[in-house]
Every structure is written in C-alpha cells, then in structure tokens.
C-alpha cells in the first residue's frame, strides 16, 4: 500500500490564533500559560486537520513560537553567551534571540535573520564557533511527539538535519578561526542528534523526518563525506528508528550519487519543483529497500494540483519499485501556503476553484495515495475539470500585454544618459548635503491605521473619510521628518497594507484573498497576492499620495514603488508561464507609473527590489536566466524618466558577493541595503567592483536594525557610519536605517531617527 504524508503545516492557526497570542504575550497582555495553551490547542487542531484529510504520517515538532531553525538552535544549545547569561527564563531567552530584548536592564539585540532558501520565510541564523557546547538543552521534538501521541495521532517527528542546520549558521564572533566552516562542527553535533533520536524512539516514534534541503544546492557536494559519516552514525547507533531524509525546493542532480548510498530508510524528493529527477531517483534507489517519498503536491504554491498528471508519476514509480515502497507527499512543508480556502468567501466560486491551500493540499495528497492503491478516484474527474478551466482562463487573459512584452526594444531598458551626466542633473535638482539622511519608506503602521483601513474595507467609513485620514497621517509623518531634520522624506506608506499587496490590488491580473496568510517571520505574516493572468496597470497607483505628500514640504519627497522582481517573488506566481515572462509584464506596468510620478513633480523615485537575491534559483546553472530578466525588468520599469530624476533602489541584504555585477547593471542612482547587523566587510564588495559606466554611485547601508524596538545611541550609529565610510568612501554614502519602519512604534522610531540624524550631522563635521 502506498502511504501518504505531509512535511509540515502552517503554524498560525485558522483564525491567526497563534499570531494574536504571541503579540499579546509580548505586550504583556496575556501570561505565558495562556500563550502555551493557545499553542497546544493549535498543534492538536493541526494534527486533526491533517488526519481528517486522510493523511497517514503526521508531522510533529514543526510548530514553533517563532522559527523552526531557532527551535533547533535552542534544542541543541546553540545559544550565544550573552543570551545564555542574560538571566531571562528559557522562553524569554528564545524570544530575545528572535527579536531582541530591552527591558529591566537587559539590553540584547535580535540575532541575524536570513531568508530560508528561495522563500520569503526568514529564519534566525545560528551562531557557531569551536567551543559551542552542543547538548540537549530542551526536548521539544520529543515533547511535541508525545503530546500528539497522547492525543491519538501517529506522528512523525521532523528535525532540521544537522548538516543543513550548521550550514545555515554563521561563524560567531567568539570563533578562534574566523574562516571556520560551521559544517565542520558536525562530528560534535551528531552525537546530540543521536541522543535525540534515541529519545524519540523511546517515546514511540517509528519514523523521523530529517530535513536536509541543502541537498538541493550545489554546495552539498562538498559535504558528501560529512553526510556519509553523520548518517552512518545515526544508522549504527539508532538502528531502531527509521529515517526519512527529505530534500526539497529543487533537484538533487549529481548529489544523488552520494545520497543514494546514505543508510537512511527513505528519501523524499521534490517532484513539483523538479519533476524531471524522478527517473534518476528511481533508477538510483530501485535495488535498495528504501521508501521513496514523492513530493507531488506543491508546498510552495496555492494552485490546485493537476492530479491526473501527478498520479501518472506516482503510478510509474509504484510500478517500478512496488507500491508499498512509495509514499505520496507534499513537495516541502506546507509552511509556505495559507491555511485553508474555507476562510475565503469573497472570491467567485470559479476563481476559488483554481486554488488549494494547506488543508486542501493534504486532501490532494491523500487522494493521490488512494488512487495509486485503488486505481481511480471520483475526486480526479472534478479535479481535471477545474484544471482545464484554469488553463483556458490563463491562456486568454490579455494578449495586448503579451505583445508589449514580446515587442520590447533595447531602448526600453536604457536611461537617457550615463550616471556621470545624470549625477550632475540630479545634484542641481535635489540639492542635498553630504551624507543625505533618509528612510526606506514606511513609517509605523499604527493600530489606528489598521483600524481605519479595516473600517474602510468594511464600508463603515466612506472613501472621503478614509482619504482624509490618510492625508492626516501623511502630514503627520512629513512634519515628524521635518522636525527630525531628515533630508529626503517619504510619505510613510500609510495607505499600503503591504508593499506588494497594495500594488497587486491595483493591477489587473491579480486575485486576492482575505485570509491567505503566509509566515514571513515570527508573528509577521503576509497575504501574497496571486498572479492569475497577464498583468497590466489600468490606472495610476501612487500618484495621488505622492503628489499630496510632496505638496506638504519643500524637501525632496521620494516616490515609492515595489519593483517587478519583488512583486513577483512575494506573490504567488502563475505556473503556466515562466517567472521571467511575469517580471516583464510587471515591468511595463511599473514603467508607466514611474513616468507618471515624474510628471507629477516627484524628483526621486525609489523602486524597492528586496527580493532580488532571495529569488535566485538554488542552482547556479539557473541564475543567468533569472538575473538577466530581473535586471532587464528593473531597467524597463525605471528608464522612462529624465536624467534629473534620482532613481533609487532598496535591497534588504548587502550580501551581494556573487551578484554584485547585476546590482550595478540595474543602473540605479542610489541604492540602500540592510547592513546594521552584518559586518561592514560585506560592503567591501561595493568597492572596486563597479564598472566605470555603472550608476549606483551612492549607497545607503542601514545603520540601525528596524526589526528591533531597541534604540541604538547616536554614538553607536556614528560608529557604524564611520565603518561604512571607511569601507566605501565619504562622498558615496547615504544615511538610512536597514529597511522600512512599519513594524515599529512611533516613539521608538523618533528616537532611533533622531540619533541617526545626529550621527550624520556629526559625520559631516568629523569624517
């Protein structure tokens, strides 16, 4: 019999229960018992959903109060000393690493966050050094399993694999060898995994899912021997437990050569992202007795699965290796999908019928497994009908848009003059001091803003009332920035629910959900728009607010847009045409907006592309296609303006080592990057690598962390700034925070920015 499983599930709860409880706990509105009660309820509820959809193996341990990588850092005692010695209780220590802590004399910044592979989920980076005392600091994986078992569920504990966990880490300041490869610590960490596996077995676990997504990266090849020794140790020391080695988000390629011989009981492969690998995987494993887990239902998109097509694959594998060795599964954890389509009641039935969220995907997995066993299923017919209806819609959605993209000309992606010429025109027009100060766009999205938006959406207040309210907010932040004496102002983005959703809602070709929340980090969730058809701009999107904002001040007001690559990356893209094609469609829509902004009197326009790096394909071989389209579409979007218009871009990471030439190729006039938590040496990549004809002469590396309520002093910010100036040169630096301020409180922002402005003023005198 073919079995079924899912690799992980969203943690938010059907009505955002967990998010709400976390935020209430952090603001001292509920106590720890209440938080833990909600968490437990939601874990059990998740198990019930998965089981009731007909799934055999239920993942346990994937629930977390912040991040699953941080969970494992915590479990294995990878806790930087300052946090370990903070005197906080274990849960608050965990939260301090996650989000910083500044209370009762404890002052700790958050640890670094990074994107989880090519997704928009952020994990907290483990800090590693030679003396980390790996040991079981808690037994969360066991506790979660036992909890599920006691409630009557057949759980399969999920662990982040040791090589992946270490590889995701960074070298801590305490390290003796700054060039330490964290993966080299695996021989010290593996025994603790062994201990954990033993405990899981003793608690009754039959299988354990061990996630090693790095096996879908080129880099895994160099760790073949670490994989071998680690997994041999597991097999030797805990032979009683069956291990399912899970790989996802891509293809194994040549890594299969060593993966096939690892002594694990089963191998999971992603056949959604990489369907072409199935034959190689089957050929490699056929003569073994390993279970093959087929990731046939996407954990990364929201589309209903084409069950007929995927069933063929499952049947083929079952015929080759025997049905009992086949497991049907989601391609990855369902973490990246929303909870259920049942929470949507505004989409038309035809549109809703295209989608399948986490809950429904569980049912798809079960349907496929059953169909392998029984040969057919009534659900398949209905599925085939919806798939056909969707394909018909997609194919015919907007021919004019497709023609504009296919007819694009080289001059569409070229500014009128090179940067050296533009620079002068911009100096005359913008008239900025040395070390211009600015922010990245958003100001705190206060409760009041969210309330008014919700009331407007529910039609409790009129459009006029809502717009008056937004105007007041804009006036408020403009005044605030003038009082702080910032040089280049922003309107604060109060009218935006989200930097992507806001644009998606105004563009044609998108569909929206009410409750399709997907985790970004911690308690932060986004509701990505869904690209359902060809994309066009039926009307201007931001002109009204940018114009209004500019009218409130004599200072430069930046226009604020989200770039084509990022809109695509943070939406659920179509699956019927390429990502590149979708970026070009977005690029032309944005181009019209950029031109309209300049015509409306805006002299600086920031087009955010924070997702350019995270959207990179996992395999180097695929980079070129993606980067070429990302750069071209950014240039198409921004090249319609005159030389005097300062085109700026913002990226969330400064770790551009391997793609710096593409950053230059975007030909922006100013770029800002997140930097406050990274090492200034990352910025070195900006020096010397710049081709003489490239733009981007100005760089604004962030000097304070916007993810934390902590207020760095002017001195601290000045020190950061000095390091930056040292790295990239005094006349090239803009001064700004890491990113937008929307998650902060106004009181925090005021102090943070006042200190930033002071640091810049001091730099003008002293540097």
Which residues are part of the catalytic machinery? 707
Q: Which tokens is 202 given?
A: 């003793």
Name the 3-class secondary structure at 209.
strand
CB atoms within 10 A of CB 261: 15
- 739 touches Zn ion by CB under 5 A: yes
Nearest in space to 331 (alpha carbons), one of 284, 278, 384: 278
Judged by CB under 6 A, the stretch of 209-217, 268-276, 437-445, 753-761 that binds ligand GLN is: 437-445
Question: Would you say 127 or 473 has its CB closer to ligand GLN?
Answer: 473
Contact 62, 9 (CB under 8 A): yes
Question: Would you say 182 or 564 has its CB closer to ligand GLN?
Answer: 564
- 441 touches Zn ion by CB under 5 A: no
Q: Which tokens is 666 given?
A: 């975007």
User: Is the torsion defined by CA of 9, 10, 12, 15 positive or negative?
Assistant: negative
- Asked if residue 120 belongs to a known ligand binding site, the reply is yes
- Asked if residue 299 belongs to a known ligand binding site, the reply is no
Site map (CB under 5 A) of Zn ion, residues 641-680, x = contact: -----------x----------------------------
- 666 touches ligand GLN by CB under 6 A: no
Phi, psi dihedrals of residue 348, rounded to the nearest 5°: -70, 155
Q: Which tokens is 469 given?
A: 């309210």
- 610 touches ligand GLN by CB under 6 A: yes
- 442 touches ligand GLN by CB under 6 A: yes
Give residues with Cβ within 8 angstroms of 473, minimum separation 6.
449, 492, 494
- 126 touches ligand GLN by CB under 6 A: no
- 494 touches ligand GLN by CB under 6 A: no
Q: Report in angstroms the alpha-carbon separations of 64 from 39, 248, 428, 468, 614.
A: 9, 20, 53, 41, 23
Decide which of Zn ion, ligand GLN, none touches 215; Cβ closer than 5 to 8 Å per partner kind: none
Q: Least distance in Å: CB of 672 to ligand GLN? A: 9
Decide which of Zn ion, ligand GLN, none touches 185; Cβ closer than 5 to 8 Å per partner kind: none
The closest residue (CB) to ligand GLN is 740
Report d(CA 256, CA 215) in Å as an integer.
9
Question: Would you say 466 or 653 has its CB closer to Zn ion?
Answer: 653
- 197 touches Zn ion by CB under 5 A: no
Q: Least distance in Å: CB of 674 to Zn ion? A: 6
Q: Please give the torsion angle defined by the CA atoms of residues 66, 67, 73 and 79, in that order, rounded to the nearest 10 degrees.
A: -40
Question: Would you say 365 or 440 has its CB closer to ligand GLN?
Answer: 440
**C-alpha 616: how far from its chain's center?**
12
Neighbour order of strands in the sheet with 242-246: 3-5, 326-330, 291-297, 266-270, 242-246, 207-211, 155-160, 58-60
Decide which of Zn ion, ligand GLN, none touches 499; Cβ closer than 5 to 8 Å per partner kind: ligand GLN
- Asked if residue 493 belongs to a known ligand binding site, the reply is yes
Number of residues located near ligand GLN, criterion CB under 6 A? 13
Judged by CB under 6 A, the stretch of 434-442, 448-456, 533-541, 684-692 that binds ligand GLN is: 434-442
Which H, E and C letters describe 524-590, residue by residue? EEECCCEEEEEEECCCCCCHHHHHHHHHCCCCEEEEEEECHHHHHHCCECCCCCCHHHHHHHHHHHH
Decide which of Zn ion, ligand GLN, none touches 62; Cβ closer than 5 to 8 Å per partner kind: none
- 737 touches Zn ion by CB under 5 A: no
Q: Least distance in Å: CB of 500 to ligand GLN? A: 9
Q: Least distance in Å: CB of 19 to ligand GLN? A: 19
Q: Least distance in Å: CB of 635 to ligand GLN? A: 19
Report d(CA 93, CA 424) in Å as an integer.
51
Name the 3-class secondary structure at 381.
helix
- 453 touches ligand GLN by CB under 6 A: no
Positions touching Zn ion (CB under 5 A) are 610, 652, 739
Positions touching ligand GLN (CB under 6 A) are 440-442, 493, 499, 560, 608, 610, 650, 652, 739-740, 742
């Amino acid at each position: 019999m073919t079995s079924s499983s899912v690799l992980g599930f969203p943690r938010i709860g059907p009505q955002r229960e967990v998010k709400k409880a976390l935020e209430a706990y952090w603001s001292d509105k509920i106590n720890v018992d209440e938080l833990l009660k909600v968490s437990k309820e939601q874990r059990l509820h998740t198990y019930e959903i998965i089981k009731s959809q007909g799934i055999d193996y239920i993942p346990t341990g994937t629930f977390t109060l912040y991040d699953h990588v941080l969970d494992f850092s915590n479990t294995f005692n990878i806790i930087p000393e300052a946090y370990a010695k903070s005197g906080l209780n274990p849960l608050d220590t965990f939260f301090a690493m996650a989000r910083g802590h500044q209370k009762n004399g404890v002052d700790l910044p958050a640890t670094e966050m990074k994107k989880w592979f090519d997704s928009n989920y952020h994990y907290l980076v483990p800090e590693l050094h030679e003396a980390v005392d790996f040991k079981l600091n808690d037994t969360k994986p066991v506790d979660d399993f036992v909890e599920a078992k006691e409630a009557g569920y057949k759980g399969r504990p999920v662990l982040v694999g040791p090589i992946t966990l270490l590889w995701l880490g960074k070298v801590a300041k305490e390290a003796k060898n700054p060039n330490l490869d964290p993966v080299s610590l695996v021989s010290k960490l593996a025994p603790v995994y062994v201990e954990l596996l033993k405990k899981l077995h003793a608690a009754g676990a039959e299988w354990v899912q061990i996630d090693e997504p790095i096996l879908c990266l080129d880099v895994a090849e160099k760790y073949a021997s670490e994989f071998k020794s680690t997994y041999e140790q597991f097999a030797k020391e805990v032979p009683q437990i069956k291990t399912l080695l899970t790989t996802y988000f891509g293809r194994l390629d040549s890594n299969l050569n060593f993966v096939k011989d690892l002594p694990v009981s089963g191998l999971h492969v992603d056949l959604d992202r990489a369907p072409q690998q199935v034959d190689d995987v089957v050929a490699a494993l056929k003569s073994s007795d390993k279970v093959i887990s087929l990731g046939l239902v996407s954990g990364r998109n929201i589309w209903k699965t084409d069950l007929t097509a995927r069933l063929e694959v499952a049947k083929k594998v079952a015929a080759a290796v025997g049905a009992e060795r086949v497991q049907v599964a989601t391609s990855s954890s369902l973490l990246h999908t929303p909870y259920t389509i049942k929470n949507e009641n505004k989409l038309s039935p035809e549109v809703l019928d295209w989608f399948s969220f986490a809950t429904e995907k569980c049912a798809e997995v079960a349907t496929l497994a059953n169909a392998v066993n029984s040969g057919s299923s009534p659900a398949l017919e209905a599925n085939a009908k919806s798939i056909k209806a969707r394909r018909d819609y997609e194919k015919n959605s907007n021919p004019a848009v497709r023609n504009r993209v296919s007819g694009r000309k080289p001059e569409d992606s070229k500014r009128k003059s090179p940067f050296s010429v533009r620079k002068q025109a911009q100096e005359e027009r913008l008239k900025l001091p040395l070390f211009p100060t600015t922010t990245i766009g958003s100001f705190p999205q206060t409760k009041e803003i969210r309330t008014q938006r919700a009331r407007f959406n529910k039609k409790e207040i009129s459009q006029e009332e809502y717009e008056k309210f937004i105007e007041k907010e804009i006036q408020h932040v403009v005044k605030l920035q003038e009082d702080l004496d910032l040089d280049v102002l922003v309107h604060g983005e109060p009218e935006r629910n989200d930097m992507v959703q806001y644009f998606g809602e105004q563009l044609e070709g998108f569909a929206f959900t009410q409750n399709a929340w997907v985790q970004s980090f911690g308690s932060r969730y986004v509701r990505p728009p869904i690209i359902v058809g060809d994309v066009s701009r039926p009307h201007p999107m931001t002109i009204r607010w940018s114009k209004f904002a500019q009218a409130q001040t004599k200072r430069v007001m930046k226009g604020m847009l989200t770039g084509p690559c990022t809109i695509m990356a943070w939406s659920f893209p179509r699956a019927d045409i390429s990502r590149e094609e979708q970026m070009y469609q977005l690029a032309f829509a944005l181009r019209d907006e950029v031109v309209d902004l300049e015509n409306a009197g805006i002299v600086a326009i920031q087009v955010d592309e924070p997702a350019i790096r995270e959207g990179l394909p996992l395999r180097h071989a695929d980079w070129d296609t993606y980067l070429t389209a990302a750069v071209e579409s950014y240039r198409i979007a921004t090249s319609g303006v005159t030389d005097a218009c300062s085109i700026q871009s913002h990226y969330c990471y400064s770790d551009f080592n391997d793609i710096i030439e593409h950053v230059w190729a975007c030909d922006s006039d100013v770029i800002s990057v997140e930097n406050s938590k990274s090492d200034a040496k990352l910025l070195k990549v900006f020096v010397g690598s710049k081709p003489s004809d490239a733009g981007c002469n100005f760089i604004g590396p962030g000097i304070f962390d916007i993810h934390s309520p902590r207020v760095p002093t002017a001195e601290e910010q000045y020190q950061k700034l000095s390091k930056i100036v040292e790295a990239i040169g005094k006349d090239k630096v803009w001064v700004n925070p890491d990113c937008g301020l929307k998650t902060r409180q106004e009181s925090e922002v005021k102090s943070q920015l006042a200190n930033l402005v002071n640091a810049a003023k001091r730099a003008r005198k002293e540097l």
